[in-house]
Every structure is written in C-alpha cells, then in structure tokens.
Amino acid sequence: MVNSTLVVRFYINPMTGNDTNTGSRLSPFKSLTRALKVIKIPTIIHLESGTYSAASGEVFPLIIPRGATVVGNEAKKGAGIVISGSGEYESLSFGVQNITLLLVDNASLLGVTVTNPSAKGTGIWIESAAPTLANNTFRDCGREGVFTTGAAKPAILDNIFVENTASGLVMARYSQGEVLQNVFQRNPLGIAISDFAAPAIANNKLSENRTAIALSRNAQPVLRQNLIAKNTQGGLLVNGNAIPDLGNTQHRGDNIFRDNSEFDLYNATTQKLVSVGNQLNPSLVKGLVELIPSNRVAVSTTDSNAPTESRSQKLPLSPQLDGHWAKPFIQALVSMDLTQGFADGSYQPDKPMTRAQYAALVASAFNPFPKVPAPDFTDVPKDFWAYSAIQIAASGGFVGGFSDRTFRFDQNVQRLQVIVSLVNGLGLPAADRDVLKVYSDRHTIPDYAQTAVATATQGGIVVNYPDPKVLAPSRWATRAEVAAMVYQALVAIGQTSAIKSVYVGLHSRS
C-alpha cells in the first residue's frame, strides 16, 4: 500500500459479506453500493467472485466517482465477477437512460463483467469524463456495452465486447480517447462512432459482428492496425460526412480486412476516402475510395518486416519531430547512436512501441551484462530481426516472457511496464513510496509496482506528457515517451547529462 493516509481500500464479497461490516479484507461489505456510500478519495474497491445485482443489495445505477478504482479479476477479463442491473440516469446529452454504471472523471474499472439485461440498457455510461476501462467483459447488454458522450476521453484497453443487443461500443458527441487492443465479437455493430467523435481505434480485433465499425455524421476516428475479419455484413461502413483516418504517406493504416461477407470498406458518402497501407480485398471496396498500397508508403525502420539493412541505417530526424515535446530526447539518442533505426525519416513518435522495439532499444542503450541464462522464447525465431536484442534484454533483466514461454514481440508495452523494466534492469536502489503522492492518479498503480515507480520517480526517469502529475500507468507507451524515459535512465546511472523538460518526473535531477 502506498500510505494509509493516501489510499483507502474496501473489500466486497456478495456471498459472505455484510454491509454492517467494516469493509476490510477480513470483514468485507456485501455490496458495492455500500462501499460507494462511504468512499473517500482515492479509494480502491476489491470485488470478490459473485454476482452484484439488486438481489445482493445493489442499487442501480452504480456511480463510480473521481479517484475510485474498482478491481475484480483482470487476468481473466472479469470472469466470475458479474455486475448486472439497471437504473435510470439523466444524461446531459441524451436524456433519461437505463445504465448499469456511470464512471465519473478519472474513475477506473478493471477486471469486471458488466451486463445490463434491460431493454435499451447500457452497461457503462461515460459523459465528459476520462476514466479507464481495462480487462473487462461487456456482454448481453440490452443495447450497448459502453456509451461515451460529451467531451469524454476514456482509455478503453484490453476489454471484450460480446453479444450485446445493439453495439459493443458507441462513441458520440465530441468523444475522443483511446480504444486499444479490445475484442469485439458477435455484436450487430462492433463500434459505432457518431457526431464529432474522433477517438484513436488501434490494435483491436473485430470479428463475427454484423458490421465491425459504423461511422455517421461528422465522425473522424483514427484507425490503425486493427484486424477486421469474418463479419457477416461488412468491415467499415462510412455514412454522412464522416472521414476516417485510414493512413497517409507517413503513417500507414496497417488495418487488415479479410473474410467479410459483403464489404471490407463501404463509403456511402459523396466524398472520396483515402486508404493507405491497409490490407483490403478491392472487390469488397464500395463507393469513392482511393487505395494506396503499402509499397507506395514510406516504410518505418521499426517495422518488423523491414530489411535488416534499412533498420541499421542512421538517417536524419523526421520533419514530423519539429516542435515535438520529445525531440531533444530522441535527437540525443540518435547522436549517441543508440536507436539503431528507431529515429529515421519515417519515425512516428506518437505511435505505441512494441515489445520487440523496446527490447532493441534497451539492449542498445544499456548493453547489459547477463544476469540469467538467455531464455528460449517459442515465438521468436532466430531469423527474427530483434532476436539478438530480445536475448540480450531478457538475460540482462530488462524484459521477460510469459508462462507459456512466449515473448509476444508484437504486443505494445505499457508505460508501467517500461518504468518497472528500467528500474529492475538497472538494479536501482529502492525509494520510499511516499514519493508517489506527486501523482494525482497514484491509486491506479498496482501494489507490486509501487516501489519501482517511486524509485523511477525519485531518479528522474518518469516522463509524463502532457501532464507531469498524471502517470497513466496502464496506457500504451509511445515511442516518444520510451525514448525520453530511456534517456533519463541513462542520466540516472551517470551515462549522460540531463535534458530539462517540464514533462520529466517531479523529482528529476535536472
């Protein structure tokens, strides 16, 4: 625990708990409703297995306030921990709605199954808030699993949306935020985006829906690296004045459309869409669409399919870095010849970094001595471009594998993983956890990582953009953020001089 004065913890057990208890681990409440009545900020609420419904004492809708984190079973996407029910909520945007939970401000919901059995019922409602939804399952809702509206800016990460009556996810009004690495399956609509919503939709799998993604009105989402396959009607449907970003000559889309029944991409508008670097079946593309194939797009040298020669070249910094907050850090790594292709002419600083790319960067930057035998990852062939780097980084204690002996090199790394990796790999002395009070979202840091985050903060390694007080541990780390933190780690071990930046941790040595 960070500090008893900083974080309050409640425990809920709908089977053995009692709402007259204290809410401790040994004396749990019976209902989440009871915990929410006595909540303090920040609070972590731990849910034990069972069904949380009106029958167990829940009063809907449940409102998760600012600074609160509700945690169930993240490892199994909320299996066995079900919140089921519905209550009326009057939305500023859409009037009275039937919802299960309302997430306010920066609230978090992690590892829970949510269902709303009411007709036209919504599982999660998010209105002009920036909560985190991670490792949950949203299923069997009477309308959609999650609805965002107003100026919502959620982080929707690694969830499952399955068999909801209308849609898995709806994003309306001026919603933005990130929708990353989720699964949308067997919904009439996987994702519906309307009004002026402009979220980032990346690395998701949308399959066996009727239509994977439907856009309307003035929606302008950014779509990258999604797998859109085996949908019974089609992949991406564009209506009204919607204009999706499907890639450009510097940032290709890398979306894969395959085995969809009627269309991969259907542009029902009167304006031409441009698709750059996506995998589509031209015979399943309808409407005004210009298809620009991958071979006409500048290939990033961080691409795992790029030739070895191009990855090792040291090329000038991309013009897109001009004015970028991380340019000094990236430029410094390039000048030290540590990037090995991570900052060439097609470098994309705001794109997430994969585990393979991260291993390559830390292996080059720190050249660690072996601490453990090099593992034999079953999914990393010896001819893979980052094989040697992964071996060096793993034996040096910077990266590890999974219980099934895989490395999963194409998965993105989270900010928390980068921070813990740098502290563990460098063997930095532990700092007092009280340092964490500088972060407004410190309650979202898992117990196991709190000492490492405190150590990195004290050592000036943590880099938070755009708000230095917001850690955002579960968000994917961008290439810019990783470059900055790796550079600051070199500063922490005395290998280079500090770069002054307002985004460097509040305990920076600069």
pLDDT tens-place values along the chain, 510 residues long: 233 336 789 999 999 999 999 999 999 999 999 999 998 778 999 999 999 999 999 999 999 999 899 999 998 999 999 999 999 999 998 999 999 999 999 999 999 999 999 999 999 999 999 999 999 999 999 999 999 999 999 999 999 999 999 999 999 999 998 999 999 999 999 999 999 999 999 999 999 999 999 999 999 999 999 999 999 999 999 999 999 999 887 678 999 999 999 999 999 999 999 999 999 999 999 999 999 876 554 433 333 333 333 233 333 445 556 678 888 898 888 888 776 545 444 557 888 889 999 999 999 899 888 888 878 899 999 888 889 999 999 999 999 888 778 898 989 999 999 999 999 999 999 999 999 999 988 888 888 899 999 999 999 999 998 888 889 998 889 989 999 999 999 999 988 888 888 888 664 433
Q: How many residues does the chain have?
A: 510
- Say what the pLDDT of residue 496 is: 87
pLDDT at 176: 92
Determine the pLDDT at residue 404: 76
d(CA 122, CA 118): 8
- CA torsion sign for 476, 482, 485, 490 is positive
For residues 123 and 101, the answer to whether their CB atoms sit within 8 Å is yes
The domain ranges of the chain are 67-296, 308-492
Distance CA 215, CA 67 (A): 32
483-492 b/e with 16+ CB inside 10 Å = b?
bbbbbbbbbb
AA identity, residue 135: N
**For residue 290, what pLDDT is reported?**
94
| Residues 184-222: b if buried by 16+ CB within 10 A, e if exposed | bbbbbbbbbbbbebbbbbbbbbbbbbbbbbbbbeebbbb
pLDDT at residue 444 in the model: 85
Tell me the β-bridge partners of 482: none
Between CA 352 and CA 405, with CA 453 as vertex, the angle to 5 degrees is: 60
pLDDT of amino acid 506: 60
pLDDT of residue 312: 33
In the prediction, which pLDDT does 499 show?
87
Residues contacting 102, CB < 8 A, separation 6+: 61, 62, 63, 64, 89, 124, 125, 126, 127
Q: What's the pLDDT at 505?
A: 65
Q: Quick one: CA torsion of 317, 323, 326, 327, rounded to 10 degrees?
A: 30
Using an 8 Å Cβ cutoff, are 46 and 1 in contact? no
Per-residue DSSP letter, 444:
G
Q: Is 198:223 a contact under the CB 8 Å cutoff? A: no
The answer to whether the CB of 208 falls within 8 A of the CB of 230 is yes
Which distant-in-sequence residues (6+ apart) come within 8 Å of 291 by Cβ?
275, 278, 280, 282, 285
**What pLDDT, on a 0 to 100 scale, did the predictor assign at position 266?**
97
pLDDT of residue 81: 97
The answer to whether the beta carbons of residues 249 and 240 sit under 8 Å apart is no
Nearest to 482 by CA among 359, 374, 391: 359
